Structure 1
Amino acid sequence: MHKETPHIKPNGAEIAETILLPGDPLRAKFIAETYLEDVVQFNEVRGMLGYTGTFKGRRISVMGTGMGTPSMSLYSWELINIFGVKNLIRIGSAGAIQDHLNLYDIVFAMGSSTDSNYGSQYNLPGQYSITASFELLEKAKKIADEKGQRVHVGNVLSSDIFYHADPTALQRWSEMGILCAEMESAGLYMNAARAGVNALCILTISDHIFRHEQTTQEERQTAFTNMMEIALELA
């Protein structure tokens, strides 16, 4: 009997143990069509496109996750616990909040600070430190070094809030050394930790929040090739 959920219906198509997770399903389609061979589509429910193919002879999947912790957490939970995915690599965009970061810079999210309440479900008797899989992080840094690609490694903010009522909030995160802001890594990392699998968030700086610099939507979908290629090599 084929495995499926209300949100992912592969109809017998394979989902690989390593998966790339862009927020935008059209970016998943772009990656599949540009980089993968022998591609089979495994999901189209709610337009959340997913594909499996080969990259340099290795099986790899790619699927959109939507925006925010609830969406990422739903899809990653099902991929891990229903479909047996072992390595989950988010590839996304982020807004820089440090002066030394510039547009198109790549960030590896070693840690994920958050304002989300997602972790409350675990009823932990303290504050949980949300971190990436060192196995994937170490491998990704080695790949970037071999490519001569400069990357930033550190703590990011995974926020539930895009339009914040407090205009000073990001400045306070910046003062704690947070590199950039995105919306999905915390839920992904907690799901992975709970299940004992690997997760890493690789980000490209799409805008600088304090300098009011930004890339276009078209560039976010197709031009972040350095980030995509590092992630593909992790398979």
Structure 2
Amino acid sequence: MTTHINAKMGDYADTVLLPGDPLRAKYIAENFLEDVVQVNEVRGALGFTGTYKGKRVSVQGSGMGIPSMSIYINELVSAFGVKTIMRVGSFGAMADSIQLGDVVLASAASTDSAVIAQTFGPGIYWSATPDFELLDTAYHTAEQLNIPVKVGNIFAADRFYNDELDMDKLKDYGVIGTEMEAAGLYLLAAKLKFRSLDILTASDHIYRDEALSAKERETSFKDMMEVALETSLKF
């Protein structure tokens, strides 16, 4: 048991899927896993463990943003021995080629968060990247499932509402979309030595004023979940 997780050692599987929304964690557990047991409910951050095609998998809600997510990652890895974390969330698309519902694998994560500067100090540019074996496996797993995926640099924003951020410049430099967690996930993975990957679904498009409805989000996110769960079978 930790400050934010009231589980016991062994309650979490080696692989954890990490949506931001605790209710999405509940949805994933109820619709994709078998023999599900709830292992956490502290502060409403729901956590579950079950099986997918016979393999134990856990899913844990982490809240929004790097600070909230970092609490759960630190405790999952340090206290419960988790070895692989795949974030499964939504993002705002920026690239013209991305359509609503597209699945994206974050091969790098830029950010305006202070976490990297606070870790390395001024004058050092540190690039946040996922575990390559996990990324490569997810990409080829999606191919086998006939689920198109795109791979690219995701911007992990420190603020959801930020009129001062120059999105045009980020887009010009090849950033394909924005969310609020990827850079923190990859930074902690480098520090704590676990496998990490950010798998995302485009829920809206920043430049085209498009957004999925609640029903469309529920349906389209199934592709992302299938990629993540099928990838988990190989680790």
Instruction: Read off the aligned partner of 1:47 and give its amino acid letter.
Output: G
Question: 2:150: which partner in 1?
Answer: 152
How many angstroms apart in 2 are the aligned matches of 1:189 and 1:197?
9
Contact 2:10 2:80 in 1 (8 A): no
Aligned mates of 1:11, 1:18 — CA distance in 2: 16
Letter in 2 for 1:187: G
Partner of 1:114: 111
Q: Aligned Cα RMSD in Å?
A: 1.4
Amino acid at match of 2:179: E
Deviations along 1:144-166, one digit per CA (max 9) or x if unpaired, are 01011111111110111211132
1:175 deviates by 0.5
Match for residue 51 of structure 1 among 48, 51, 62: 48
The whole-number CA distance in structure 2 between the counterparts of 1:42 and 1:220 is 26
Aligned residue identity for 1:228 = M
**Structure 2 matches for 1:74-153, cutoff 5 A?**
74-123=71-120, 126-153=124-151
Contact 1:13 1:41 survives alignment (8 Å): no
Secondary structure at 2:175 match in 1? coil
Give the partner amino acid of 1:48: A
* 2:42 equivalent to 1:63: no
Which letter maps to 1:197?
Answer: F
**1 CA distance for matches of 2:4 and 2:34?**
25
Partner of 1:204: 201
1:195-228 Cα offsets, whole Å, 9 max, x none, are 1110000000000001000013454356410000
Q: Following TM superposition, where does structure 1 have runs of at least 4 consecutive aligned residues deviating by more than 6 angstroms?
A: none
**Alignment TM-score, normalising by the size of structure 1:** 0.94
Determine the C-alpha separation between the residues in 2 that align with 1:123 and 1:110: 21
Q: CA deviation at 1:11?
A: 4.6
Q: Is the 8 A contact 1:189 1:200 kept in 2?
A: yes
Instruction: Please say if 1:178 is aligned against 2:182.
Output: no
Once the 2 structures are TM-superposed, how far is the Cα of residue 30 of structure 1 from its aligned partner? 0.7
**Conservation of the 8 A alpha-carbon contact between 1:106 and 1:227:** yes
In structure 2, relative to structure 1, the CA distance for the partners of 1:221 and 1:49 (3 Å cut) is: farther
Output aligned runs, 1:187-226, within 5 Å. Answer: 187-221=184-218, 223-226=220-223
Give the whole-Å Cα distance in 2 for the aligned partners of 1:176 and 1:221.
31
Q: Work out whether residues 199 and 224 of structure 2, in 8 Å CA contact, stay in contact via their aligned partners in 1.
A: yes
- Cα distance 1:6–1:217, how it changes in 2: closer, same or farther (>3 A)? farther
Residue 57 of structure 1 and its aligned partner are, at CA, apart by: 0.5
CA contact (8 A) 1:13 1:42 kept: no
State the secondary structure of the residue aligned to 2:159.
Answer: coil
**Range that drifts further, 216-225 or 92-101:** 216-225
CA contact (8 A) 1:108 1:200 kept: yes
Q: In structure 2, how many angstroms separate the alpha carbons of the residues matched to 1:222 and 1:21?
A: 19
The separation in 2 between residues aligned to 1:130 and 1:222, in whole angstroms, is 30
CA distance in 2, matches of 1:159, 1:99: 20
Alpha-carbon distance in 2 for matches of 1:122, 1:24: 27
Gaps of 5+ in 1: none
Whole-angstrom distance in 2 between the partners of 1:51 and 1:16: 10
Superimposed CA distance per residue, residues 64-109 of structure 1 (whole angstroms, 9 cap, x where no aligned partner): 1110010111111111111111100000000011111110011100
- 1:98 aligned counterpart, secondary structure: coil
* 1:64 maps to amino acid: G
For 1:111, the aligned partner's letter is A
TM-score normalised by structure 2 residue count: 0.94
Q: Is the 8 A contact 1:51 1:61 kept in 2?
A: yes
